[in-house]
Chain A
């Protein structure tokens, strides 16, 4: 084991896995409770457009993806504030257009794009040290912002109208959550890839929600579940040579299934009770 840990690529992978788990735990519960999962899917796929342009310009792909996802987050946030009812239509269009831009620019780029599959499906074992440092900054920004604005974010996620009546800056808080979601997605893309980001944002939260009904505790448990899932997936990927992103998600899915089965066998969820955060009976 000590030999494995002596490899720089493995150290990078472990660090990114832990940081990605922190991001999942900090922002995931807000995404799930505010029903922003579809938005997250849209944001992650728009990253493909940024990747394509970055390849074409010959700059670091992560920078292109970050710029594109942030721009998409601002657009969706503004659209949501203006016209709530048709937001899904706008996100769907942004989702497809983002992918199309990526395909066109990659097509226009001469030669082979070696990292493309890594960004689509993720490969935690190939994250370079420079991206580890960028990820660290993203994690500090996301975690710090959530700590500072925690009460405001909870107020908006719980009852947006009441938050407006209390004169909170609801539009700014919602936009802040959107931007933090975008930064989180950029962090997670390196671990599981564009196609699987949604799973990593939701599975740890779903497991944590089976174990607690307290929002702060769900955050903490999501981080721990994320670390367990990411590091287990990493080991499976290293030893069996499975794709790392898919291994992480499948282990997460299996763990969620096991927790749900255990809860079911213990009879803690009455029939008909909705699932997800808030869907369980109070914790005992």
Chain B
């Protein structure tokens, strides 16, 4: 099946320093890709490049069909203005704003879709609450609801479990597993533990990207990516042996 998103030889950096070098990656329909790697390894930068927030130095990102206009994004909750006076309903409604409609008022259809998404994510009872009154788990669900209201074909989440307790993490995983039935998902995280049962592919990123089918990562692989000894048992991922990080493991 043709990839929804095809990334080829992508390079990007800040000032003179390259953060990502020669990244090639394909995201298939209903894929679930986990991107792990050390801090500063370029995980969030890769997401921003795919989403068009940053422009690459070189390389291409190709979108199949209308995928490019239907990307969902769940940023880290710490990145947005949490003091902004806005209700849960209005926050989710902002997910309907696009480049071609931001000069118009929200339509009744936008409001109906927002209501449906809130209902689905068990947030309807909180619709009039201010976002400052939400717990970390509730806020994360609001951010997911905002990304889903635009009916994306691919969903990108940046460290979504950071502010969550164990119960909220389980709820999130259940939701992502359900969403995977109709969209591709990419999660960027430094802690892959919660996703052990959900992901299909795993990509290790530290300036360069090493792509793996679902399977085991040995300690040598992870140590190469992280540049230091890594306790792989701590990740809780079911493992199969991976030999080397040659070109053959990079995904076109």
Contacts and interface: CB of A to CB of B under 8 A. Distances in A.
A159 B99 contact: no
A214 B91 CA distance: 11
Contacts of B146: 162
Given A165-B73, A213-B85, A282 B130 contact: yes
Interface stretch (B76-84, B193-201, B234-242): B76-84
B164 interface: no
A31 to B, nearest CB: 13
Interface residues of B, number: 36
B86 interface: yes
B103 A149 contact: yes
Contact of A157 (B84, B97, B98): B84
A278 B81 CA distance: 9
Nearest to B51: A165
A218 interface: yes
B69 to A, nearest CB: 8
A279 interface: yes
B153 interface: no
B133 interface: yes
Interface string B111-128: 000000000000000001
Given A166-B97, A213-B85, A213-B130, A148 B103 contact: yes
A165 B53 contact: yes
Interface in B140-162: 146, 150
A168 B103 contact: no
Among A151, A155, A209, A280, the one with the most B-chain Cβ atoms within 10 Å of its Cβ is: A151
A154 interface: yes
A277 B97 contact: no
Contacts of A281: 130, 133
A166 B98 contact: yes
A158 interface: yes
Contact of A277 (B85, B99, B106): B85
Interface string B27-51: 0000000000000000000001001
A276 B82 CA distance: 12
Residue with the highest number of chain B CB atoms closer than 10 Å, among A33, A152, A162: A162
A168 B91 contact: no
Contacts of A149: 102-103
B79 A155 contact: no
Contact of A155 (B85, B97, B105): B97
B168 interface: no
A278 B75 contact: no
Given A158-B80, A162-B73, A214 B103 contact: no
Contacts of A155: 94, 97, 102
A278 B97 contact: no
Contacts of A162: 73, 75, 80, 94, 146
A149 B105 CA distance: 10
Contacts of B150: 166
A163 B97 CA distance: 8
Contact of A282 (B48, B79, B98, B128): B128
A164 B53 CA distance: 5
Interface residues of A, number: 34
A109 to B, nearest CB: 44
Contact of B98 (A167, A214, A215, A276): A167
A17 to B, nearest CB: 26
A81 interface: no
B80 A161 contact: yes
A144 interface: no
A162 B150 CA distance: 13
A274 B83 contact: yes
B133 to A, nearest CB: 5
Of B86, B99, B106, B129, most buried by chain A (CB within 10 Å of CB) is B86
A257 interface: no
B60 interface: no
B52 interface: yes
A34 B85 CA distance: 12
A161 B97 contact: no
Contact of B83 (A161, A165, A277): A277
A169 interface: yes
Contacts of B23: none
B75 A159 contact: yes
22 contacts: A33-B81, A148-B103, A151-B102, A151-B103, A151-B106, A152-B103, A155-B97, A158-B80, A158-B81, A158-B91, A158-B94, A161-B48, A164-B53, A165-B73, A166-B98, A167-B99, A213-B85, A213-B87, A214-B87, A276-B83, A278-B85, A280-B130
Interface of B: 48, 51-53, 69, 71, 73, 75, 79-87, 90-91, 94, 97-99, 102-106, 128-133, 146, 150
**The 8 residue pairs across chains A and B that have the minimum distance between CB atoms:** A278-B83, A159-B80, A167-B99, A165-B51, A165-B73, A152-B102, A164-B53, A277-B85
